Amino acid sequence: MFQSKIAGLGYYVPKNVYTNNDLTRFMETSDEWIQERTGIKERRYADRIGETTTSMAVEASKIAIERANTTAEEIDFVIFATLSPDYYFPGCGVLLQREMGMKEIGALDVRNQCSGFVYALSIADQFIKTGMYKNILVVGSEKHSFALDFSTRGRAVSVIFGDGAGAVVLQPTTEEGKGILSTHLHSDGADAEKLAMYFPGASAGYYLEEMPKWPDVELGEMLMTKEMLEDGSAFPYMDGQAVFKKAVVKFPEVIGEALAKNNLKSTDIDMLIPHQANLRISQFVQKTLGLGDDQVFNNIQKYGNTTAASVPIALCEAWEQGKIKDGDLVCLAAFGAGFTWGSALIRW
């Protein structure tokens, strides 16, 4: 059986930089308030017209494919992770396949939000190991900025997120002990409504009791209305404390699971790439695992939370900066809405 290796990686972020001070034009906030709670200093926003979740993915994919010494024509499967697709359907996978002039290959879309890239990587790993495919493009891309509530009411969510894309090309290797060693995936839907965007959805209103913010939404209401925009129910909802409490438990747990599976310990990790949800979460996880600053890579300060794109963007940036070298033990981990979480342990 083959092992899977990351043969090429790339990322793309929009040119538009929005600092914390820039956001004060739209809402009551401050640089100090945002940094204290999230660690974020700035983020990137895509152009409102012309720059899409798919177009950003194309740019990241071009770099990853070139670095893998292959071509778009040789890619034989695409897995695209996002929570902000260009259309409700079809998914971005086929749009990427079209834009890059690929053959009539399979395209799979993963809607696992913040853990989407780790889930997508795990799926690709299985296809490579069984020999079904030889060049799999795995993408995480997000355009959050078009659907955030840029008001004081929505600041707890809107200040966190940014736009961008990351991609990797997975290929088989027979080099013993190299590549993806194992992946580990979990979910718990008990608190699904703690971090959610309820509309559009066929069951909008079904979980009305779970929507404490919007008591005026009529049971069974399914169409977007002017009132939903005015009262905020059309925008994402997050119970920040609930997410934080769950994340700081599940992050170390799933990382420990990966290490135990491979008879390794936290001190063996050369580089941990956590999903860039909140710098405070990453710092808590780092302290829990007893890792040094040189063993954890964070870039949320520059890009905010790019959900499915955050892990591949951070992985690529760490590699470009020489922080990941041949033979290093690299751990990827993510936690997000659902709740879903996962990890991947890689011998570079």
**Structure-block tokens of residue 132:** 């079904």
Query: Each residue of 133-143: pLDDT tens digit?
Result: 999 999 999 99
Average pLDDT (257-286) is: 97
CA 245 vs CA 68, 175, 251: distances in Å: 39, 40, 11
Return the closest-CA partner of residue 338 out of 201, 207, 189.
Answer: 189
Asked if 235 and 147 count as a contact pair (C-beta separation under 8 A), the reply is yes
Strands (E), the chain: 3-12, 16-19, 42-45, 77-81, 106-110, 136-142, 164-173, 179-187, 195-196, 237-238, 271-274, 329-336, 340-347
Query: Each residue of 5-36: pLDDT tens digit?
Result: 999 999 999 999 999 999 999 999 999 999 99
Asked if 79 and 137 count as a contact pair (C-beta separation under 8 A), the reply is yes
The answer on pLDDT for 205 being more than 90 is no
Residue type, 245: K
Q: Which of 20, 92, 112, 114 is catalytic?
A: 114
Spell out the residues 6+ positions from residue 196 whose beta carbon is closer than 8 angstroms to its own.
236, 237, 337
Which domains are delineated in the chain?
3-173 (3.40.47.10), 179-190+239-347 (3.40.47.10), 198-234 (no CATH)
Q: Which of 275, 278, 298, 331 is catalytic?
A: 275
Write down the number of H helices and E strands in the chain: 11, 13
21 annotated active-site: no
Instruction: Name beta bridge partners: 137.
Output: 78, 169
Tokens 């996962």, residue? Answer: 342
316 annotated active-site: no
The answer on pLDDT for 214 being more than 90 is no
Q: Which of 299, 305, 316, 331 is catalytic?
A: 305
144 annotated active-site: no
DSSP 82-109: -SS-SSSSS-HHHHHHHHTT--S-EEEE
Task: Supply angle C-alpha 301, 348, 14, rounded to 5.
Answer: 35
The answer on pLDDT for 212 being more than 80 is no
Q: Tell whether pTM > 0.85.
A: yes
Query: Each residue of 298-348: pLDDT tens digit?
Result: 999 999 999 999 999 999 999 999 999 999 999 999 999 999 999 999 999
